[in-house]
Amino acid sequence: MPKVKIPRKSTTIDMTAMCDVAFLLLAFFILCAKFKPSDALSVTTPSSVFSKIAPETNVVTVTITPDSRVFLSVSDKNVSEKLAMINDINVSKNLGLSDAEKSNFANRPASYIGAPFSQLKSFLDKTPDELKNMQLPGIPAKDSTNNELIDWIRAATGAFAGSKMALLVRGDNAAKYPAFQSVLIAFKRNDQLKFQMITSPIAAPRGSELEKTQIVTGKKGVE
Amino acid sequence: MAEMDTSGGGGHKKGPGVKKAKKLSTRVDLTPMVDLGFLLITFFIFTTTMSQPTAMRLGLPKDTQKPEEQNKLKESAALTIMPSKQDKVYYYEGADPSKLQTSDVKKIREVILDKKRRTDPKDFMVIIKPTQDATYKNTVDMIDEMTIDEVKRYALVDITPAEYGFVQKTEVANGIK
């Protein structure tokens, strides 16, 4: 009986195509990734079941650090509003800020306010690198009597008059409640009764009422 | 696999005495490169989706002194929860803070659901009163709990000195510092 020859096939596969696809995807994701400028204020936000993405423009953010200091920042795109805010504070508190100092807040990306009015001038003179290495005092907002955040929120509402402003609170897990409470006081004093808190999303817990409704309605997120 | 034509352009003839250079294979093993590529892809996929922060909405009640503008609340339908030190949550039903009971952040869901079952859904309301010792995380967790348990009416209210007194007493009794 003649032997049947089975042609031996090579087991090596041409990887070029796969490699091409992999790197194409890689290039796509790298280009799509939005790199955040390293935050000067590092905050770990609590998690919630809410899935509405936080807005990014026309935003006034109040940051509460783990040691309960309060900082204020405005989204980078709203340069004119930032300028209006700092002008307002400069005039009403008689701080005598120079144009360069105002522009340091208005034009620098990811700029923030982290000092009381009395130290604001020297605070605005500093470069972002210098600020990173300093222990900043934050905006005094300990109670309702000495709450400079009230003035800042008032300036912000004035600057955003006519356009929609979103108030965001970005608090750290470890921040104490009184700090958050004084932020709420500042909002209330300015009749800003609606605000949002930045959280990291988690799924509804197993067996909870919310999960049951989500299964019934087929909706996943909470707006 | 990736190959390159190394024969050189033109086909330049070599003399008889010239030794032929050994032709080395130009095949490169691309497997590690593909591995690396996919590793980076997974990394970027994860980081892009995870970094999107979400926002939780909260409306504050307007401070008002006029009784006609204040919300009426049935005493029996109210549940007051007070997050405090070490993730402990103190709660009482109705309007008597002396009947304080202790729970913690993870177990409060049972308490809320139990009360919800026993109460007319029309009247049921949860009042969140974080103490001075509560953390921001506790506060947000409690508000989030309202969504998880589908409590329609809830409010974030300042704690009264009397209530804080009861909380502190309970904490001392339980040895919580």
How high is the mean pLDDT of chain A?
80
The pLDDT of residue B110 is 85
Reported CATH class of domain B73-174: alpha beta
Q: What is the pLDDT tens value at each position of chain B, 177 positions in all? A: 455 555 444 445 555 666 677 788 777 787 888 888 888 888 877 776 555 678 888 877 776 666 555 666 777 788 888 888 888 888 888 777 777 888 888 888 888 888 888 888 778 888 888 888 888 888 888 888 888 888 888 888 888 888 888 888 888 887 776
What residues of B are in contact with residue A172 (Cβ under 8 Å)? 136
**pLDDT recorded at residue A38:** 55
Q: How confident is the model at residue A199 (pLDDT cuts 50, 70, 90)?
A: confident
Domain ranges for chain A, please list them: 63-196
Mean pLDDT lowest among A11-25, A30-44, A103-117, B18-32: A30-44
When pLDDT is cut at 50, 70 and 90, the band that residue A34 belongs to is low
- Using the Cβ of B38 and the Cβ atoms of chain A, whether some distance falls under 8 Å is answered with yes
What is the per-residue pLDDT for B8?
47
DSSP secondary structure string for all residues of A48-107: ESB-PBPP-SSEEEEEE-TT--EEEEE-TT-HHHHHHHHHHHHHHHT----HHHHHHHHT
Chain B residues touching residue A45 (CB < 8 angstroms): 53
3-state secondary structure of A112: strand
Window A:174-193, CB contacts with B under 8 Å: 174-181, 184, 187-188, 191, 193
* Inter-chain CB proximity B63 and A53 less than 8 Å: no
Interface ipTM: 0.75
The tens digit of pLDDT for each residue in A63-111 reads 888 888 888 888 888 888 888 888 888 888 777 778 888 887 777 777 7
Cβ–Cβ below 8 Å for B37 and A171 = no
Mean pLDDT across A22-33 = 82
CB B82 within 8 A of CB B89: yes
B78 in Cβ contact with B113 (< 8 Å):
no
Which residue is closest to B113 within chain A, CA to CA?
A209
* Rounded (5°) CA angle A133-A134-A136: 140
pLDDT of B139:
87
Closest-CA distance of chain B to residue A180, Å: 7
Measure CB to CB from residue B2 to each of A16, A46, A171 and give the nearest one: A16
Contact A58, A166 (CB under 8 A): yes
Per-residue confidence (pLDDT) for residue B48, from 0 to 100: 66
* Residue-averaged pLDDT of chain B: 78
Q: Which of B4, B54, B84, B142 to mutate to test the interface with A (most CBs of A within 10 A)?
A: B54
Instruction: Provide the angle, in degrees to the nearest 10, between the axes of the packed helices A16-32 and B31-50.
Output: 20
Count other C-beta atoms under 10 Å from residue B31's C-beta.
13
pLDDT in tens, A177-198: 888 888 888 888 888 888 888 8
Is pLDDT of A37 > 60?
Answer: no
- B94 with B85: CB under 8 angstroms? no
pTM to 2 decimal places: 0.73
State whether B54 and A198 contact (CB < 8 Å).
yes
